[in-house]
Structure 1
């Protein structure tokens, strides 16, 4: 048994996850009833990630800022520009694709018990209120924008603290990071349980009638991940971006696809940044920030589903309004984390741009929930993997300026 475990530990995590994925699919197809108890592995894995992530973000960011030396670069401006530009371009790609491949949909029934935000002002207001949320409540509710805000404030407050205090905070930060390593080791079992549950619970039958809509949605997200993002990375580092892009998709996108939670994937992304040799001062802030504002997948979802409603109702759209939708979807996507229901409940806000009434817009939201099994998985995979990709691109740009060699093949 010890020899078997030793050989298993020598296999890379990605290969271990692929094994778990294959076993999960096989069990779901062959013996779904007998293998049902393995669902608990997925539940425990996601629960452990969600539990450790808020504490990890708080102490990592607080420690990084408290010990930050004056004049030491963190590349945060470049990272934020990449986040915002990437989200806007994703929305633009979705708008163009929706005109090239127009989709009409069969509207679903309205979603009961949920209320869409009244406008962009309400979305931004919710976001601002989350920033000043009670710190204990923010950690309990996994409100990452609030956790990030308090961690930054506490970090600055501790800059003049005694070295022993800073060392203690750094030690706690390292201890939580070690806990994350332990949790991630169980990723193969977690993914096995998650894929088993996804196949046995949801199936694919309900998605067939919305095949064309899903094709446009997923096609846009793949285009952003494999064409738009690599172009942006190439512009930053001047080297072949695909080894880095594919590594981020493999090691971050796969787990995000099955957990369907950018917040749960924060520990995975932190570990990947460490593996890529990135500056801890930068990624300890940029990764949780990316989980709240870097929402390319959400921008695609909002744009595609809104224009599907427009085409279904036969509304004519001019180019300036289409461009305005790209901007609106990007702004809404950045605020999606502050709204219960995420990107889907921001669709009525975008629909209002075309005069579509709320009762019809909420039927479009209903369609979103029907296809949510795949839509949300691809959306989260794109959002989360891009957090690491842009953080790495911004740092490698600085390496390039300083004349430091960037061996992307070796890194990836």
Structure 2
């Protein structure tokens, strides 16, 4: 019994990143040895993602409400600079995607397979959807994972309880700590969950489905890596005036890896919250900035929209001048910020960008189908970039704020 407890303690206190790497290797190995066994074990990944998605809405709602309710009078948060970093980062991502698309022009073999899907007809529709998500019923918002609505209700309740009795505030604080404890337990199960996700993914698709789109994937992944390893560190350096790479690499390692395999910014909210806690960031700030980032900080989505749209433009032989490309960057950045309000996310916003070049909806939806084909890699990399950047910018803003003389 003692030996069993000792083994459990070693696993619980060991390096989570190392355990995740072992889980990835084991998942690839079992998928290579036996696809049937890998498919049977894929449920472990589904359970892990399901647990994260189940706890995330409650975590965001309770933590936001408790943080604002218990915020000291005249307390200072770093939300304004974080929002600015989110907007700058998303626009920089779309501009980078334009440069990569011009440097490595790509054409597509158009596909079908998205019949019956209705993309939004304009940016006004995207913004309208987001606006109505803000005023969603709070119970429905929790049930459906509407994080814009959850955030709005959490902020509203927190402000309303700011003048409540100390006992009431303490109850919310205790509940938020209890939910955070559950989150930490779920995150410790990440190696098992990711093992199941990797095994299931490799057993089902491998890389056969995306072999014909290597160049397109190369441009997408190259742009995302450039943002993660060059542009984001540059933005962070300007903000904190020190070497940004220890922070950037830690966020990629501890947030990006998990997000890559869960392929869900919402499911990665608990992971990011736990990472912010380990980085000793201000809870009043990250309890709001992380769920907000999961809905509006979409650099990866901006890259996907821009690259696939310009690939369609190249395929049809349409000439693109600099001003039109610049306009595409702005449109992609604004559209990406609304991606969480659209079913299908960034891919279904591609027709919006294609309309800028007069590309009809039938052709644009074939481009969306290509996106679904490469989605097993594209969506994973996009989510990893989006989610890890939330923590990078939150940490940078908090550190810069701490250095500012009061």
**Is this a same-fold pair by TM over 0.5?**
yes
**How far did residue 33 of structure 1 move?**
1.6
Residue 377 of structure 1 is matched in structure 2 by 380
Residue 206 of structure 2 is matched in structure 1 by 203
CA distance in 2, matches of 1:176, 1:402: 35
Q: CA RMSD in A?
A: 1.0
1:272 aligns with 2:275: yes
Residue 131 of structure 1 is matched in structure 2 by 134
1:395 aligns with 2:403: no
Residue 233 of structure 1 is matched in structure 2 by 236
Give the counterpart of 1:58 among 57, 61, 64.
Answer: 61
Residue 330 of structure 2 is matched in structure 1 by 327
The answer to whether the 8 Å contact 2:27/2:38 transfers is no
CA distance in 2, matches of 1:43, 1:350: 33
Residue 406 of structure 1 is matched in structure 2 by none
The answer to whether the 8 Å contact 1:336/1:346 transfers is yes
Residue 52 of structure 2 is matched in structure 1 by 49
Structure 2 length-normalised TM:
0.98
Deviations 1:312-336 (A, max 9, x none): 0000111111000000000000000
**How far did residue 110 of structure 1 move?**
4.8
Residue 151 of structure 1 is matched in structure 2 by 154
CA distance in 2, matches of 1:3, 1:148: 41
Give the counterpart of 1:99 among 99, 102, 112.
Answer: 102
**How far did residue 19 of structure 1 move?**
1.0
1:251 aligns with 2:244: no
**How far did residue 114 of structure 1 move?**
1.1
Using the TM superposition, name which of 290-299 and 37-46 deviates more.
37-46
CA 1:136/1:3 → structure 2, altered by over 3 Å: closer, same or farther?
Answer: same
Gaps of 5+ in 2: none
Residue 108 of structure 1 is matched in structure 2 by 111
The answer to whether the 8 Å contact 1:110/1:359 transfers is no
The answer to whether the 8 Å contact 2:221/2:378 transfers is yes
Structure 1 length-normalised TM:
0.96
CA distance in 2, matches of 1:375, 1:358: 22
Residue 17 of structure 1 is matched in structure 2 by 20
- Number of positions where the alignment pairs a residue of Structure 1 with one of Structure 2: 403
**Structure 1 counterpart SS, 2:35:** coil
Give the counterpart of 1:3 among 6, 15, 23.
Answer: 6
Deviations 1:45-71 (A, max 9, x none): 000000000000000000111111222
CA distance in 2, matches of 1:190, 1:385: 19
CA 1:102/1:346 → structure 2, altered by over 3 Å: closer, same or farther?
Answer: same
Deviations 1:218-262 (A, max 9, x none): 000000000000000000111100010000000000000000000
CA 1:313/1:282 → structure 2, altered by over 3 Å: closer, same or farther?
Answer: same
Residue 142 of structure 1 is matched in structure 2 by 145
Give the counterpart of 2:226 among 217, 223, 226.
Answer: 223
CA distance in 1, matches of 2:16, 2:23: 10
**Structure 1 counterpart SS, 2:162:** coil
User: Superposed, which structure 2 residues align to 1:250-329 within 5 Å?
Assistant: 250-329=253-332
